[in-house]
Structure 1
Amino acid sequence: MATPRVCVLRAPGTNCDRETAFAFETAGAQAERVHLFRILEKPELLSDFQTLCIPGGFSYGDDVGAGVVFASQLRTQLAEVIGEFLQKDTLVLGICNGFQVLLKAGILPGGAGEWTNRDQTERQSTLTWNANGRYTDLWVNLKSCSEKNVFLKGVDTLESPIAHAEGRFIVKDESVIADWEANGQIALRYCDESGKTSKEILDYPVNPNGSLQNIAGLGDPTGRILGLMPHPERFLFATHHPQWTRKNLTGEGAGMQLFRNAVEYFG
């Protein structure tokens, strides 16, 4: 099969698009950084890609809330083309600000099914201010909790850096989490160094933002969409880790597997 094409969709304020495109290219994809305004002018461009990635960064300066403006443009001006993209055998990845966008646009948690009824569906979850009330930048441990998510194939635990102020995952009604878990949609949880996690909120810094049930990533029912707060594109090689010499790390970093999985899905 031809090399899969990835649209790394950036908006004013996005600042992780180059690193994310590099990650996909290193994994074997053909990645293109596409400005949102190009898609607004010519929405059919999105049909040229097999994967849509919304990278981290501060889109529109997060002036009215993290990811809100970007999400609004997807939900309104690009509603039709996004709906068509989700209905196909495609992948969607949202990292940090991208995760915020996916949630606030209504792409997660329900994927294509929820998108079809987005005007009638009440948003069940969001990402809000960290429990410590400030921007937090550190490395965390993550436990993969979904066997169906394409991006997490073969992943058990991984380390990854986080850098955000609005990363605390909350829901309107906690009962929905049981349904998501049964569907394999709870993708990642914060865990300790041994890989141990729980549904009780772990203490800082293990859970860096106070997310409900330590949730760090969420998928859709098909497993083809993933949103996560940590930055896997910042741990592509062992030398990216701040303790790579102390831990005797070599070769690829743990984050690379997510991008390889996305490429291999189309193999």
Structure 2
Amino acid sequence: MTKTPSDPRLSATVLIIRDGEKMPEVLMVKRHYEIDFAAGALVFPGGKANDEDSDAAWDAFTDGDFGPVQQDARIAAVREAFEESGLLLARHANRRGPGGPLVGPDISEMLAPHRGPVDRREESFLGLMRQHDLVLALDSLIHFGHWITPEMMPKRFDTHFYLAPAPKDQIAAHDGRETTDAVWLGAQEALNMELAGEATIIFPTRMNLVKLARAISVADAAERFGAEDVVKVLPYAGKDESGQPCLFIPEEAGYGQTAELLSRVNV
């Protein structure tokens, strides 16, 4: 009997990047070991969209017009980044508009005590933005990737990856609940850590690090990836020429790799 695949849940994750000494650095957080998905793995801040992310009232508190799915996913990405890292991709309402300056550390630090309550749904993220006269800078996010969990997996996610320059002078800190560390790493540095057995990185995260490693600066990343089309990736299981079980992804997705051994997937 063939089992019907579960419907994937809309999710979002954001690669927050800043210029390092030689190459861009991306913020990665370490998932708690007791969490039910990607336990102990290095990931980008992100998670599932919730019902409030699709509230029509957000229209007055967001910069950018992206349509229902993209707007919901971008709101989720900004909210998750705030919950998991404390970084807030938002503007003062009186300075709103594409390219406007993001809030500084005074605002992110003032709102930091609300990270946990927003995460636990004890407080409204929309209400928090309304109360402090802020708007989410959805236009600062560049669509970077779109991955859907393979159909054979019991828990499935329809995940949009975004790229965003780090807010100037804001300080990232893990939340202590879902994440146990927050670090800035070069993309290749993170990949080398995984190869050396010093970090666990799941397949989609690894592929998006490979993609990010092509950029030589934040400006280069914004120009390069902002001009590229995003191809949906739905990995499927099969075997390579030597008969080893693999996951396959489309070549046109542009990751420079089309197969990964199941033993390396780490999901």
TM-score category of the 2 structures, normalised to the smaller one: under 0.3
Based on CA coordinates, which of the two structures has the bigger radius of gyration?
Answer: 2
Higher relative contact order (CA 8 A, sep 6+): 2
Name the TM-score, length of structure 2 as normaliser: 0.27
Name the TM-score, length of structure 1 as normaliser: 0.27
